[in-house]
């Protein structure tokens, strides 16, 4: 079966440009997480959805970052007026909340964002 | 605040040697601990979790609450174990994982 799908795989943006990153979770996965991974660092939590509800957005670094999951499936992470410090790999992960596999995160391949 | 510390950025060993990847955490309650692995050109994936008390690919990890550690061990390293390893913590079901900065394991013959 298909895993977590993220697009685009690579994105180059000019400073000040807005970008939108897409995540298509595994079908039936209720929970969806966004992480930011800078070069040489571990993934840093950004935000978390359960179905369409955004339960935690404490990791979003500024109000330029916005995430949505309007129908409880596909999610979009939007970054407005990108800055060079936004350059990173953005990872999406999904999981079940019930059963033996509850809490096990399945990660996408990530979107590598480079802001010039 | 909760934190995960992986003190080694790089660990290099020879094939057949024992491996121990260190992980310490800071949290006063009862956390869930995980090890995730990322092989070259692959996505991040779960290796093992402490509640399962399992051995995956010969790796084991024991939660030591007294020392707040969850070190990953394997008695005999293989070249295919070369990868990036991340320790992660979750303080409550349904919340996000907190990751360490990762340790690169390099196994050479």
Domains in chain A, ordered, with CATH?
Answer: 5-95 (2.60.40.10)
CA distances from B53 to A46, A77, A88, B57, B106 (A): 29, 35, 34, 13, 25
Tell me which residue in A59, A91, A103 faces B44 most closely, judged by beta carbons: A91
Q: Helix or strand or coil: residue A104?
A: coil
**Residue A56 and residue B95: Cβ atoms within 8 Å?**
yes
Question: How far is Cα B91 from Cα A59, in angstroms, rounded to an integer?
Answer: 16
CA distances from B31 to A44, A68, A116, B49 (A): 18, 29, 40, 11
Tell me which residue in A55, A104, A110 faces B46 most closely, judged by beta carbons: A104
Query: Mind listing the pLDDT tens digit for each residue in B33-78?
Result: 999 999 999 999 999 988 887 888 999 998 998 999 999 999 999 9
Q: How confident is the model at residue B6 (pLDDT cuts 50, 70, 90)?
A: very high
Nearest chain A alpha carbon to B42: A109
* A67 touches A46 (CB < 8 A): yes
Sorted by where each begins, the domain ranges of chain B are 3-108
* A56 touches A47 (CB < 8 A): yes
**Residue A56 and residue B96: Cβ atoms within 8 Å?**
yes
Name the residue among B44, B43, B85 with its Cα closest to residue B61: B85
Which residues of chain B lie closer than 8 angstroms to A45, CB-CB?
96-98
Q: Supply B10's token pair.
A: 């790089």
Question: How far is Cα A27 from Cα A95, in angstroms, rounded to an integer?
Answer: 10
Residue with token string 């992960």: A93
What is the topology classification, in CATH, of domain B3-108? Immunoglobulin-like (2.60.40)
Q: Helix or strand or coil: residue B79?
A: helix
Name the residue among B15, B18, B22 with its Cα closest to residue B103: B22
Per-residue pLDDT in tens (0 to 9) along chain A, 116 residues: 579 999 999 999 999 999 999 999 999 899 999 999 999 899 999 999 999 999 999 999 999 999 999 999 999 999 999 999 999 999 999 998 766 666 789 999 999 999 99
Query: Mind listing the pLDDT tens digit for each residue in B69-105?
Result: 999 999 999 999 999 999 999 988 778 899 999 999 9
């Amino acid at each position: 079966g298909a895993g977590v799908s993220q697009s685009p795989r690579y994105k180059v943006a000019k400073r000040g440009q807005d970008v939108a990153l897409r995540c298509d979770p595994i079908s039936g996965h209720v929970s969806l997480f966004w992480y930011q991974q800078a070069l040489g660092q571990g993934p840093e939590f950004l935000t978390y959805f359960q179905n369409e509800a955004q339960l935690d957005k404490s990791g979003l670094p500024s109000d330029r970052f916005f995430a949505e999951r309007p129908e409880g499936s596909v999610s979009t992470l939007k970054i407005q007026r990108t800055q060079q410090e936004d350059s990173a790999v953005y990872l999406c992960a999904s999981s079940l909340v019930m059963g033996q596999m509850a809490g096990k995160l399945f990660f996408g391949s990530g979107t590598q964002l480079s802001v010039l | 605040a909760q934190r995960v510390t992986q003190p080694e950025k790089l660990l290099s060993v020879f094939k057949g040697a024992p491996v121990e990847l260190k992980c310490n955490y800071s949290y006063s309650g009862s956390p869930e601990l995980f090890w995730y692995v990322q092989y070259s050109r692959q996505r991040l994936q779960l290796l093992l979790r402490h509640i399962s008390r399992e051995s995956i690919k010969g790796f084991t990890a024991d939660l030591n609450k007294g020392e707040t550690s969850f070190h990953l061990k394997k008695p005999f390293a293989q070249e295919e174990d070369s990868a990036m390893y991340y320790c992660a913590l979750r303080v409550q079901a349904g919340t996000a994982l907190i990751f360490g900065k990762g340790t690169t394991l390099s196994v050479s013959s």
